[in-house]
Structure formats: C-alpha cells, structure tokens
C-alpha cells in the first residue's frame, strides 16, 4: 500500500533502513526533515517556492557562499557561545574571548620570525597600523615560539584568494613569537566588509530586510606549546557597525584601543616613518585538555 498522509510519509522517511547507518546522523536528519515538513505544511509552501529555494541552495553552494549564510544567520556565533558555555560548565578558565573564523581563512600563509610587514605590496593604503603584544598562558607567562596567523581584508573590503585580483596571501601572514612570546606587525587599518551584491547571499538578505555589513576587524588564529589554539578577531573602535555586525561576531573584550603615535624609532625594521596608529594586544591562550585542541587548524580542515 503506497498511499500516505504527510505524517505517515514522514514516519516512513525517517524509519527506512537497510543497514544500521549512523545513529546520530539518523536522529538529527529525522529532526531536520520533520521540522521542514512541518514548516512546509504550516506556511503552505507552494511547489514554486520550494523549488526556488532548492535552486537558491544550489547556487549558494556553487558560489562557495555557504559560510557567509551560516555567519549571517548566527550559526557561527552560536557554536562559539556553546563552546564557551561548555568551558564554563567544566569550570575551565577562559583566555582571550574567541570570535568566529568566518569563511575567508586560507591556511599556509608565509611564516616570519617575531615581526612582519603584513601590508607588503600595499604601501600607502590607509592609516599605518602597528599591532604588537605577547602570547601568554592563563598564568601570565609568555608562550615562546607561538604562531600568530593573521589576516584582514584589503582597502576595498575584499580578501585575497577569494578576490582573484589580489596576489596570493595578500594581507595574510604567520608570525612566530620570540622566546618571550612577542609578536608585532605593520599593516594598515582595514575597512569593514560587505557581502557581495548580486549574489545568492544578498538575495536572501534583501528579502529579509537585512544589511550584510561587518565592522572593521582583523582575524587571528593563535597557537603554541600545549595551549588550546584560539580563533579570534579584534575590532577597530568607532565603526558604525560595531554593534550591528551582520555576523553577530563582535565582542566587548576584543575592541582594541588605538594610540596615535607622532614619531618613533622603535619600528624602523618595519619601515615605519612618520605618524601611525599603534595597537597593543596580548593573546591569552587556555590550557589544552588534549592534543587535538592544540592544533591550529581552520574549521574546514578539522571538519570530517
């Protein structure tokens, strides 16, 4: 007999099995399918609406923009909140707050010792920035030879690799700290980011009546010794989107202070002459509970 009500069909979809499969995947899939069946029935979603949505999902994947939608719909921040709640439940001491990786990380950036010109090839673009500080453990002791992987957008708000007009690894570098955990780099204060217009992402955001802007920020993936690798961002104060980030990723502890320096001879090796903006920021890493927590891997590398 193959005549079903919607609920009979749902039960059949979720019960069909010729081998054990994976219990967790089965349970989560069953929930998601049930929620979608209910949504379609409750909102009387038409076939045209349903197939438009499936076409949109296909275009989203083809444009490699899944990571923009997850950020914009709050999933990336949700996962951070839940990780922090898990830390608190286990009474794990927290270090520098984590902030979402976002979809624009690229592994394998050039590695330098202690300092680097992140803005190599971008001379004269924006306000000169020197950011410096140390990588520390929760005990306040430096983490020697930690690695600070740093990336930010160009003066037009676009990220290298995803923007083919930029050189490979433009504005992406890794810095190995010295024995006292010190790092420093020269760059420029980046602007904010906006989702690409005329894209599957902007289509949905237009229909939701939402903007797709992020305030100015710089990304970091910091790791070292037996510490837990940290993915975070710092925000530049004064940005109009600081409290209105489309990815909901800004955090109080991550808004840095800008210090205007008229002149200094301390940064000659970075080619700094004249006035510039200085940011001092120390990264505090949690202790790791296992080896896998120490690995500086992007979310896509880690995902099965």
Q: Is 146 in contact with 224 (CB distance < 8 Å)?
A: yes
**Count of residues making up the chain:** 304
Among 102, 142, 191, 192, binds Fe ion (CB under 5 A): 102
- Which of the residues are catalytic? 159, 193, 214, 217, 219
- On the CB side of 132, CA atoms within 13 Å amount to 16
- 73 CB neighbour count, 10 Å cutoff: 16
- Coil, helix or strand for 49? helix
| Alpha-carbon span 223 to 233, nearest angstrom | 14
Kindly indicate which of the ranges 41-49, 98-106, 166-174, 262-270 contains the residues binding Fe ion, using the contact rule CB under 5 A.
98-106
Residue 205 in contact with ligand MBD, rule: CB under 6 A: no
CA-based nearest residue to 183, from 135, 229, 226: 135
> Could you say whether residue 222 binds ligand MBD (CB under 6 A)?
no
- In the bound complex, what is the minimum distance in angstroms from residue 137's beta carbon to ligand MBD? 27
Task: Give the one entry of Fe ion, ligand MBD, none that residue 220 binds, where binding means its C-beta sits below a cut-off of 5 to 8 angstroms depending on kind.
Answer: none
Report the chain's C-alpha Rg in angstroms: 23
Contact between 193 and ligand MBD by CB under 6 A: the answer reads: yes
Q: Are 283 and 220 in contact (CB under 8 A)?
A: yes
Out of 77, 98, 102, 132, point to the residue binding ligand MBD (CB under 6 A): 102
Question: Which CB, 65 or 272, lies closer to ligand MBD?
Answer: 65
User: One symbol per residue from 48 to 87: x for binding Fe ion (CB under 5 A), - otherwise; what is it?
Assistant: ----------------------------------------
Alpha-carbon gap, residue 286 to 230, rounded angstroms: 8
The CB-of-240 to ligand MBD minimum distance in angstroms stands at 16
Using CB under 5 A as the binding criterion, the count of chain residues that bind Fe ion stands at: 1
Binding to ligand MBD, residues 57-86 (CB under 6 A): 68, 71
Cβ-based nearer residue to ligand MBD, 144 or 196: 196
Side-chain half-sphere of 56: how many Cα atoms within 13 Å? Answer: 16
Q: Which residue is nearest to ligand MBD (CB)?
A: 102
CB 214 within 8 A of CB 246: yes
**Does 215 engage in binding with Fe ion (CB under 5 A)?**
no
Residues 6+ away with beta carbon under 8 Å from 124: none
Is position 190 an interface residue for ligand MBD (rule: CB under 6 A)? no
Q: Give the span between the Cα atoms of 39 and 271, in whole angstroms.
A: 59
Q: Which does 98 bind (CB under 5 to 8 A by kind): ligand MBD, Fe ion, none?
A: none
Q: Of 193 and 283, which has the nearer Cβ to ligand MBD?
A: 193
The footprint of ligand MBD (CB under 6 A) covers: 68, 71, 100, 102-104, 193, 214, 247, 249
């Amino acid at each position: 007999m193959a005549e079903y009500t919607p609920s009979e069909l749902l039960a059949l979809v979720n019960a069909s099995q010729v081998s054990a499969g994976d219990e967790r995947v089965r349970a989560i899939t069953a929930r998601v399918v049930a929620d979608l069946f209910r949504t379609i029935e409750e909102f009387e979603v038409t076939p045209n609406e349903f197939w438009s949505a499936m076409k949109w999902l296909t275009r989203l994947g083809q444009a490699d923009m899944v990571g923009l939608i997850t950020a914009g719909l709050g999933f990336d921040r949700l996962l951070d909140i839940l990780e922090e709640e898990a830390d608190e439940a286990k009474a794990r001491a927290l270090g520098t707050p984590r902030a979402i990786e976002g979809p624009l990380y690229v592994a394998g950036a050039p590695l330098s010792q202690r300092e680097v010109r992140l803005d190599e090839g971008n001379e004269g673009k924006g306000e000169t920035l020197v950011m410096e500080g140390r990588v520390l453990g929760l005990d306040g002791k430096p983490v020697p030879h930690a690695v600070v992987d740093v990336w930010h957008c160009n003066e037009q708000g676009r990220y290298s690799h995803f923007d083919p007009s930029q050189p490979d690894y433009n504005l992406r570098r890794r810095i190995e700290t010295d024995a006292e955990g010190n790092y420093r780099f020269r760059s420029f204060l980046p602007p904010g980011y906006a989702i690409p217009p005329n894209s599957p992402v902007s289509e949905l955001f237009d229909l939701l009546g939402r903007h797709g802007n992020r305030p100015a920020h710089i990304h970091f993936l910091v790791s070292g010794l037996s510490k837990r690798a940290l993915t975070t961002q710092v925000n530049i104060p004064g940005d109009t989107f600081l409290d209105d980030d489309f990815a909901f990723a800004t955090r109080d502890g991550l808004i840095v202070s800008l210090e205007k320096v008229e002149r200094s001879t301390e940064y000659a090796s970075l080619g700094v002459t004249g006035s510039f903006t200085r940011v001092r920021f120390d990264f505090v890493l949690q202790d790791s509970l296992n080896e896998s927590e120490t690995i500086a891997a992007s979310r896509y590398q880690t995902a099965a």
